């Protein structure tokens, strides 16, 4: 593959240095003209895009401020919950486990002897003397 454009001028040494310089200058002018043609009309698009980016950045800044306000408002209640509420909740869970264990024992006793559980197993009936 043969080098093209400026690469050809730079990579292939010219016969005369002045000829190479003239050729490099000509290639550079062609490149600038081609870039000019390609970029023509994109300036307005670029300005519009930059304006949209500024608007998006401003909206993002506003959203960040709102989020900071929300977090700031919730910060103190979260600290209170972590300081006291979480400890109380842990105690509640422990006591609930004890309650469930006691209810399990009562249920097993009831299943084993329902009449004795309800009336009491200490009564033997009436005995005349």
Which whole number is the average pLDDT over 44-73?
Answer: 83
What pLDDT score was predicted for residue 73?
A: 78
Distance from C-alpha of 68 to C-alpha of 73, rounded to nearest angstrom: 9
Q: How would residue 4 be classed by pLDDT, with cut points 50, 70 and 90?
A: low
63-113 confidence digits (pLDDT tens): 888 888 888 778 788 888 888 888 899 999 999 999 999 999 999 988 888
Residue where the block lists tokens 């993002």:
60
What pLDDT score was predicted for residue 8?
A: 54
pLDDT at 13 over 60: no
pLDDT at 127 over 80: no
Contact (CB, 8 A) for 8 and 26? no
């Amino acid at each position: 593959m043969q080098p093209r454009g400026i690469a050809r001028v730079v990579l292939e040494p010219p016969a005369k240095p002045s000829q190479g310089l003239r050729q490099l200058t000509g290639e550079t002018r062609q490149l600038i003209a081609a870039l000019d043609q390609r970029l023509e009309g994109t300036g307005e698009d670029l300005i519009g895009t930059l304006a949209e980016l500024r608007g998006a950045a401003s909206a993002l800044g506003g959203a960040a401020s709102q989020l900071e306000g929300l977090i700031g408002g919730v910060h103190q209640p979260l600290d209170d919950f972590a300081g006291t509420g979480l400890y109380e909740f842990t105690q509640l869970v422990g006591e609930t486990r004890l309650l469930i264990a006691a209810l399990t024992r009562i249920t097993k006793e009831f299943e084993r002897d329902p009449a004795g559980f309800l009336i009491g197993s200490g009564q033997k009936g009436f005995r005349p003397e």
